Amino acid sequence: MNAYLGVDVGSVSTNFVLMDEQGKLLDSLYIRTKGQPIQAIQAGLKALEKQVPPSLNVLGAGATGSARQLTGVIIGADIVKNEITAHAVAAMHCVPDVQTVLEIGGQDSKLIIIRDGVVVDFAMNTVCSAGTGSFLDHQAARLGIPIEEFGKLALQSKQPVRIAGRCSVFAESDMVHKQQMGHKTPDIIAGLCDALVRNYLNNVGKGKSIAAPLVFQGGVAANQGIRHAFEKELGVPVIIPEDFGVMGALGMAILAKENRAQGKKTSFRGFGASELRFATRSFECNGCPNQCEIVEIRQDETVLARWGDRCHKWQNTTRGEAAS
């Protein structure tokens, strides 16, 4: 059996997808990054190896996410792309006529505008984390509610309260105030969902042409309250793909398959990369006033790659040299 691997490593989660020649998901995996991307990648590879048949042949691999460069070196990715590209490709794979992608993950959120199968505009949150998965996790824990029940409770609300959603600090303090006033928990949660959607549309979606069909993906898409709030605010149905939580990884598996179709051989290291010894270090380049911070990754004592320099001085140095 032939397959293509996609890996998306973010600040909160690390996602893996294995896709067959027909574009069908064979397996997927979601694990917490916990601030240790190398360990998360290797743990995911080891877990996947146990789940797939020994005869599985990976013909291509792709990497995305905030740790995409690191991931690409560790797994031997054939193609490395940013999250906007990966999520757009996955959305068009699932909903070919999609025009708008709403993506909210653990610590960031994105809006992607697609017209005629081409990304024409996009935006990401810059400062405020209100509405992201980590913020919702924190509020659920503070209320003593499992995050899995958060959205269901929001749908039980008969009269959502008005909560200031301009930023996470204001939203949390306003929630506390509403609790002290005696409002019901479902009404407070529904009000929070409404506030977070308003914040997303005002900050990330400001000035963007949001049109249907809309696809909602990322971990927060599991929250039914947020989906309902989007539909109420936008006045159109919101589509949630079956594999909404691993769409970045899915997009990279699709791109790896397209890369292979061009006749290129894979550089995938194999699932055995989970047993290799990788280490990173950083240093400051004093070659010019930019003083770029250079990141270096090594396997044992051999330098595999460097990045972070604007002029590519360090990126262009010989690979395979002994680590200093």
Question: What residue type is assigned to position 242 of the chain?
Answer: E
* Distance, CA of 143 to CA of 176 (rounded, Å): 10
Residue 106 confidence (pLDDT): 75
Residue 121: pLDDT above 90? yes
Alpha-carbon distance 298 to 153, whole Å? 48
pLDDT of residue 318: 52
Give me the percent of the chain exceeding a pLDDT of 70: 94
Alpha-carbon gap, residue 162 to 274, rounded angstroms: 49
- How far apart (Å, rounded) are the C-alpha atoms in residues 197 and 324? 49
pTM above 0.85, yes or no: yes
DSSP for 130-142 reads: TTSHHHHHHHHHH
- pLDDT tens figures, 239-257: 999 999 999 999 999 999 9
| Domains defined for the chain, CATH in brackets | 2-89+248-275 (3.30.420.40), 96-240 (3.30.420.40), 277-324 (no CATH)
> In the prediction, which pLDDT does 128 show?
60
Task: Please give the pLDDT value at position 35.
Answer: 86
The residue type at 30: Y
Give the pLDDT confidence of 152-197 residue by residue, as tens digits. 888 888 888 888 766 666 777 887 888 788 888 889 889 888 888 8
d(CA 49, CA 302): 26
List the 13-19 sheet strands across, edge first. Answer: 25-32, 13-19, 2-9, 57-64, 79-80
Residue pLDDT, tens place only, 265-322 = 999 999 999 998 998 888 898 888 888 988 888 888 888 888 888 888 887 765 555 4
What mean pLDDT is reported for the chain? 88
- Of the pLDDT bands very low, low, confident and very high (cuts 50, 70, 90), residue 324 is very low
274: DSSP letter: G
Contact indicator for 65, 71 with CB cutoff of 8 Å: yes
Q: pLDDT higher for 136 or 61?
A: 61
